[in-house]
Amino acid sequence: MDWVDGFYSRTGRWWGAAEGRITERDHHRVDLLHEHAGTGPLRVLELGPGYGTTAVVTAQAGHDVTAVEISDRADRARGFVTEAAPGTLTVIKDDFFRVRLDGRFDVVTYFNGFGVGSDADQRRLLTRIATEWLRPGGVALIDVYNPFVWAGWHDNEEHRMPDPARGYEHELHERTTFDPVTCAAIDTWWDVTRPDEKITQVLRCYTPADLALLLGGTGLHLKAFTVGDRTLTPGPQPGLAELLAEHHEYLAVLRTG
């Protein structure tokens, strides 16, 4: 996992100005939080918040949010702290595998990031959520990368031109491959002016069935998942287009009981 801080700090410098802005996606996530956890006010722990846009919208909905971000994106997230009312936003620049936090949370969220490191690492994180952070009866909402769609992107290459008006200053290449043995997406980026400085993220993908296996012994259970605009239970659903073809991630709803 040594690549994490470097990858997200560097990409944050490339496109933070463009993507560190609140969008509909942040409001949609808060709607999902309310759907699965109620409207509160709640004590929320957001893992890997990136630029903090969802964290601040969560706080603006009246919740007290603690956000733990390892990369320099935390510096941008801190810029939102003064905009958090009527809730509060605390940004901690640290590694969520090591950080020590006070008290329990009604909700733990991790949007668009779960799947870094080995299965043992994911289980370590899930166990921390269940035993150290979540209050009894609380809920964890975790986006999980969907292998069916990532596999379909195998061998994709993209060339992205700068668009300074939108905050994209760099001309970039992206190459995506998929490893069907380890069920991981391998996503490599480079700036055309520095082709020798490629950076890569490796993202483990899990079907809902595999996620349920991963959860065994962690104290968390998969109760439902939201994909697209549907919330489903994790029973058999042959031909489910949302997972087979349409969405590269789904939101897992995890509870301790």
Ligand X SMILES: C[S@@+](CC[C@H](N)C(=O)[O-])C[C@H]1O[C@@H](n2cnc3c(N)ncnc32)[C@H](O)[C@@H]1O
Binding site for ligand X (CB under 6 A): 4, 8, 48-50, 68-71, 73, 95-97, 111-113, 116
Closest approach of ligand X to the CB of residue 244, in Å = 23
Residue nearest to ligand X (CB): 48
Closest approach of ligand X to the CB of residue 97, in Å = 5
Cis check for the bond before 164: say yes or no (omega within 30 of 0): no
**Rounded distance between C-alpha atoms, residue 80 and residue 63, angstroms:** 14
Closest approach of ligand X to the CB of residue 33, in Å = 13
Q: Which is nearer to ligand X, 93 or 221 (CB)?
A: 93
Q: Where are the beta strands (DSSP E) in the chain?
A: 43-47, 64-69, 88-93, 105-114, 134-145, 156-160, 172-179, 184-191, 199-204, 221-227, 230-232, 249-255
Q: Which is nearer to ligand X, 9 or 240 (CB)?
A: 9
Q: Which is nearer to ligand X, 44 or 68 (CB)?
A: 68
Closest approach of ligand X to the CB of residue 257, in Å = 26
Q: Are residues 149 and 176 in contact, defined by beta-carbon separation less than 8 angstroms?
A: no
Q: Which is nearer to ligand X, 74 or 139 (CB)?
A: 74
Closest approach of ligand X to the CB of residue 35, in Å = 18
Strands of 172-179's sheet, edge to edge? 156-160, 172-179, 184-191, 199-204
Q: Which is nearer to ligand X, 125 or 215 (CB)?
A: 125
Please classify residue 179 by burial: count the beta carbons closer than 10 Å to its beta carbon, then call 0-12 exposed, 13-18 middle and 19+ buried.
Answer: middle
